[in-house]
Amino acid sequence: MHTELTPQQKASQAAFRAFVDAEIIPHASRFDREESTPKNIIEKLAKRGFMGAVLPKEFGGVGMDTITFGLLNEEIGRGCSSLRSLLTVHCMVAHAICKWGSKSQKAYWLPKLASGEVIAAFALSEPNVGSDAKSVETTASPADESYILNGQKKWITYGQIADIFLVFAQCEGKPSAFLVEKNSPGLAIKPIFGMLGVRASMLAELHLHNCRISQDNLVGRLGFGFSYVAASALDYGRYSVACGCIGIAQACLEACIRYTSERKQFGVYLKEHQLIRQMITEMIVNVKAARLLCYHAGYLKDIGNPKSIVETAIAKYYASTVATKIANDAVQIHGGNGCSSEYPVQRYLRDAKIMEIIEGSTQIQQITIAESGYQEYFQLLTA
């Protein structure tokens, strides 16, 4: 594997960074305060093809390679983690339909998702179900040519504005996945406000009360919901989040380089203090290490290596934990200013903490990594 980006990937990275610097960073703190993402910024993402990043060109997508998709998530995450979350969940649903959807579902939904005409959200979590995703309590009952859904979903990213939801429910004891449009009879959407971080991600609760959908809205087969549809989508989601965490960490590093070069204490710039240099050194090393883990996971995905799943878990675990540490140190370096809304590092810290929870918590990643490690290294020891 080559750790250097290709010329095309470098060009894409530069274009992504320029877009983020011009269109996102100047407004990100306002998005956070208002707990909302303006429609016009989503339209700008769509205009550049970002909403169809993971989709093949035959469906109107861009067909990005996985590493380029990671670079996109890193740069948008550097500017605004909430907006990166939109890219994550939207592309998770698009990926799920592309891989597991019927021909008619692909033909109808994928061009709309690629263009941004339709916004998609991923509806797995519930009030009583988070990490134990196989135990969803929402039910789907066959009825004539329909399914009747009953239950509640919570913490649904961009649920306030999504046009379609990928909803997971138990159908006759089999975890299954369904497409539910926002105007479906029996679906009520309740906004969620006041979260610790990613406040502009427009979270919502979904209340499904005898919500009737067509049998054609089943994605894959009955029983495919978690092991196939959700698992493949969450794998891409973890990769997106991991790369977004690098963006947070990079933003913290750049903020600290700038701040310590401008602020003096005890007659010298902060950057001249040895302990500050130590903190900056650790930031640089951890950012580079996390980035290489993401590159490696992306490379394995592109060549179809099954090890990409656990390598993505490793990348997500490491990137999210170091993002929180780096953000915490960034606030410390900024002192009182770091606790003020006038400086973005407090937002980075709040957002970083959320990254340790979503798309599989830190502890879930540890379980996955440990199980894989025991299998791999036990085989080596007993060979």
Residue span(s) of the chain under CATH 1.10.540.10 come to 7-118
CATH class of 226-382: mainly alpha
Half-sphere exposure of 41 (CA within 13 A, CB side): 24
- Of the residues 35, 75, 356, 359, only one is catalytic, namely 359
pLDDT tens, N- to C-terminus, the chain (383 residues): 567 899 999 999 999 999 999 999 999 999 999 999 999 999 999 999 999 999 999 999 999 999 999 999 999 999 999 999 999 999 999 999 999 999 999 999 999 999 999 999 999 999 998 777 778 999 999 998 999 999 999 999 999 999 999 999 999 899 999 999 999 999 999 999 999 999 999 999 999 999 999 999 999 999 988 889 999 999 999 999 999 999 999 999 999 999 999 999 999 999 999 999 999 999 999 999 999 999 999 999 999 999 999 999 999 999 999 999 999 999 999 999 999 999 999 999 999 999 999 988 899 999 999 988 777 776 777 76
pLDDT recorded at residue 79: 98
In the annotation, is 359 catalytic?
yes
pLDDT recorded at residue 1: 59
Residue span(s) of the chain under CATH 2.40.110.10 come to 121-222
Task: Say which CATH topology domain 121-222 has.
Answer: Butyryl-CoA Dehydrogenase, subunit A; domain 2 (2.40.110)
Task: Residue count of the chain, please give it.
Answer: 383
pLDDT recorded at residue 324: 98
pLDDT recorded at residue 378: 67
Which residues sit opposite 151 in a β-bridge?
208
Which residues sit opposite 213 in a β-bridge?
147
- Tell me the CA distances in angstroms from 172 to 140, 169, 178, one per residue in order: 8, 10, 14
Residue span(s) of the chain under CATH 1.20.140.10 come to 226-382
**Please, which residues have CB within 8 angstroms of residue 377's CB and are 6 or more apart in sequence?**
none
pLDDT recorded at residue 383: 67
What tokens does 145 get? 């040519």
Q: Is domain 7-118 classified as CATH 1.10.540.10?
A: yes
Residue entry with tokens 């390679």: 65
Whose CA is closest to 344, among 357, 327, 329, 324? 327
Whose CA is closest to 350, among 217, 236, 252, 226? 252
Report d(CA 140, CA 142) in Å as an integer.
Answer: 7
Give the pTM. 0.95
Q: Are strands 174-181 and 164-171 parallel, antiparallel or unpaired?
A: antiparallel
pLDDT recorded at residue 353: 97
pLDDT recorded at residue 2: 66
The alpha-carbon radius of gyration of the chain (Å, integer) is 21
Tell me the one-letter amino acid at 32: D
